[in-house]
A and B are shown apart, each in its own frame.
Chain A
Amino acid sequence: MVTLIVLVPLALAAAALAWPDGRTRPLLLLAGAVAHSAGMVALWVHPEPPLFDGYLFLDAAGKVVLTTTSVLFLATAVYAQGYLRRRSDRDNRMFVGGLLVLLAAMTVVGLAQHLGVLWVAIELTTLATAPLIYFNRNARSLEAAWKYLLVSSLGIALALLGTFFIALSGAGPGGPKSLLLGDLIGAGPELARPWVRAAFVFLLVGYGTKMGLAPLHSWKPDAYGEAPGILGALLAGGVTNFAFLSVARVFQVARAAGEQAFACDALLALGLLSMALAAVFMAGQRDFKRMLAYSSVEHMGILAVGLGLGGSAVAGAFYHVLNNGLSKGVLFLTAGNIHRAYGSKRVDDVRGASRRLPLSGPLFLAGFLAVAGTPPFSPFWSEFVIVNGALGSGRFVVGGLFLLFLAVIFVGMGATVLKVVQGDDRGAPARPGYGDSWLTAGPPLALILLVLALGLWLPRALENLFQSAAHLVAGS
């Protein structure tokens, strides 16, 4: 099953590139999503032992991120049926194929227990997404794709150097001479600590670029602003979560080598900086898709803070991975609907979305409330666990700043969202024929109901999964 959830999307991607008919091609995307979700259900019911000498294995941390992505990808694949039908003017060959390759690459990241395999898969997520940002074939999307490719490639190159540093740290006499996580963690104190520390810096910068942590986030507003909503949802709710998982893998090694204190401080610094920067740029943002990019910077910051705090906050961070993935899906898909119905994503042009789009408008608002941490939506609980972890361990400054940034972001983001949703849409630019349909408004509706349900009742199985992921990564 583990090999199937990688190979089936890849095979379907090849089929999509060869498929002659653009109208039926998006169905391959749906087939890939359904197959992947079915595979994930099977893996929940029957966990599998490590494969290929332990290179691939679905552990608790990978399971959190991969399950989230599988649900999100299913929702976006349904949405894509409606979206690509409306965009029949564009050739969707690269788009469908690229998304399926992205699904396979993300799955490998989730399964990888070897830092080299992990790196190759992260590289592949970049290569699969860069052409998709250019889907709209105009100067602005080209600029966004170029920035994304250049900045991500730099990050990936530095991550490779960091991976080499880790390999070197275990190359001494009696060292593991391996990049398998199990070997590295088993060797623990045998690793050369200065090299592990240097490696953590390079890998945090490298994978932090993919996560979009400040100050490495420069590609994010452009890419999210110009990419189609589907890709925005998969980048903000999928790829960045996997980049966080990669940082968590490196953290495991650093912790085993005795560099936990240094790694935690670095994560806390970047995490709080990201939240602060998001708070500054979110206020007065005139473009609601770029605003979502800063929201993504904020939530990556929250994940980094959760991991950096250690203790009970780490389980909160993994809970937040799930919540971030699902609620980013709601926001990006509805933002895409609003963008199309108005032909603009400027806050000055768009108003009264809840009148013109009776489903997408209110869903956009609900998505904002969820992502900003309003009860009873589930992000409230994961953020609560993280704050609780900060205050419970006496980190009052971190906890206080965390709450302050959340409050500022709530106000800043809320002002923009309300301008878009409320008011009278008469006189605003219009593009007839782009109203709500079940295919484009149904998936975000399903996702927000899921976020609400998880906020009201978190199944015991998921709670245990977050605990064991936290135990695996941070020993807490």
Chain B
Amino acid sequence: MTSWIDMTFILVVVIDLFLLASSRLGAAIRAVALQGALLSLLALLLASPAHDTGHVLLVSFGALAIKAMFIPWLMFRAIRETAIRREVEPLIGYVPSMLLGGAGVALAFAFSRGLPLPTPEMHAFLVPTALATVWTGLLLVVSRRKAVTQVLGFLVLENGVFVFGLLLTDFMPVMVEAGVLLDLLAAVFVMGIVMFHINREFSSLDTDALASLKD
């Protein structure tokens, strides 16, 4: 059992690094979808008998439906309609962003070593995985030019927050976790609409075209 959980956490981090190195948008969206599915699996694997089963199932299926299916579908639609396939010249190159991502993972482990959990330990990899994923998301948002990749970065960031939220499943009200899913849905929904308009105004999803406002 523990080795399965270990494996899942490691896969989540591997996907983080893969995303930092990947230039093909289709592959990146699939990777984010896979990460969403892994999170849904984690919610089940980490549940202890003390947990309310209904609640665990709700979180797990919610993550599967929204993070692994609905949003990737929305993103695929967006890239199909705008006919873009690749990220072009990121602000931070693929190799440097891989290195930064790797450094982030190391730092996340160091940071979580320094912050002892007040709760009974759920899993040693949980906090570092969450922080490394948050870091990856931030890195993707600031270093990529395409609107689609920035949204993907935001999703990865949200995935990191979700992993951290798993620590709280046994005592937090449903509302906070529902907030995560709702937030994800709403944010991407609105972003999707905005992207549609960006596409019509500029006929590309390159946010570099969005650079006329400056001092």
CA distance A163 to B183 in the complex (A): 14
Task: Decide if B10 is an interface residue (CB 8 Å cutoff).
Answer: no
| Across-interface contacts of A454 in B (CB, < 8 A) | none
CA distance A177 to B137 in the complex (A): 29
CA distance A119 to B175 in the complex (A): 11
Task: Decide if A397 is an interface residue (CB 8 Å cutoff).
Answer: no
CA distance A160 to B211 in the complex (A): 29
| Across-interface contacts of B183 in A (CB, < 8 A) | 123, 156-157, 160
Known contacts: A150-B154, A164-B164, A195-B115. The answer to whether A179 contacts B213 by CB under 8 A is: no
A164 near B168: Cβ-Cβ < 8 Å = yes
Q: Nearest A residue to B202 by beta-carbon distance?
A: A139
Taking the closest CB of chain B, its distance from the CB of A394, in whole angstroms, is 34
Taking the closest CB of chain A, its distance from the CB of B211, in whole angstroms, is 8
Task: Decide if A172 is an interface residue (CB 8 Å cutoff).
Answer: yes
Q: In which size bucket is the chain A interface? A: 35 or more
| Across-interface contacts of B116 in A (CB, < 8 A) | 192, 194
- Could you say which of A117, A150, A167 has the most chain B C-beta atoms within 10 Å of its C-beta? A150
Taking the closest CB of chain A, its distance from the CB of B187, in whole angstroms, is 5
Q: In which size bucket is the chain B interface? A: 35 or more
| Across-interface contacts of A225 in B (CB, < 8 A) | 213
Task: Decide if B197 is an interface residue (CB 8 Å cutoff).
Answer: yes
CA distance A206 to B176 in the complex (A): 17
Task: Decide if A130 is an interface residue (CB 8 Å cutoff).
Answer: yes
- A contact face: mostly helix, strand, loop, or mixed: helix
Which residues of A in the span 86-137 have a Cβ within 8 Å of any Cβ on B? 116-117, 119-120, 123, 127, 130-131, 134
Task: Decide if A355 is an interface residue (CB 8 Å cutoff).
Answer: no
B161 near A160: Cβ-Cβ < 8 Å = yes
- B contact face: mostly helix, strand, loop, or mixed: helix
B115 near A116: Cβ-Cβ < 8 Å = no
| Across-interface contacts of B160 in A (CB, < 8 A) | 161
Which residues of A in the span 182-202 have a Cβ within 8 Å of any Cβ on B? 192, 194-195, 198
CA distance A123 to B178 in the complex (A): 13
B154 near A140: Cβ-Cβ < 8 Å = no
Task: Decide if B172 is an interface residue (CB 8 Å cutoff).
Answer: yes
Pick from B118, B212, B215: contact of A143, CB below 8 A.
Answer: B212
A222 near B213: Cβ-Cβ < 8 Å = yes
Task: Decide if A149 is an interface residue (CB 8 Å cutoff).
Answer: yes
A130 near B158: Cβ-Cβ < 8 Å = no
Taking the closest CB of chain A, its distance from the CB of B55, in whole angstroms, is 15
Pick from A117, A154, A167, A171: contact of B141, CB below 8 A.
Answer: A154
Contact with A along B105-143 (1 / 0, CB 8 A): 000000000111111000000000000001001100100
A146 near B210: Cβ-Cβ < 8 Å = yes
Taking the closest CB of chain B, its distance from the CB of A425, in whole angstroms, is 26
Known contacts: A149-B190, A195-B118. The answer to whether A140 contacts B179 by CB under 8 A is: no
Which residues of B in the span 177-205 have a Cβ within 8 Å of any Cβ on A? 179-180, 182-183, 186-187, 190-191, 193-194, 197-198, 201-202
| Across-interface contacts of A127 in B (CB, < 8 A) | 186-187, 190
Q: Nearest A residue to B119 by beta-carbon distance?
A: A171
Task: Decide if B13 is an interface residue (CB 8 Å cutoff).
Answer: no
Chain B residues in contact with chain A, CB under 8 A?
114-119, 134, 137-138, 141, 147, 150, 154, 157-158, 160-161, 164-165, 167-168, 171-173, 175-176, 179-180, 182-183, 186-187, 190-191, 193-194, 197-198, 201-202, 207, 210-213, 215
5 contacts between A and B (CB under 8 A): A146-B207, A150-B191, A168-B118, A168-B167, A194-B115
3 smallest beta-carbon distances between A and B, as pairs: A172-B118, A143-B210, A192-B118
9 A-B pairs besides A168-B167, A171-B168 with CB distance below 8 A are A116-B179, A120-B182, A142-B201, A149-B190, A160-B180, A161-B161, A167-B168, A168-B117, A171-B119
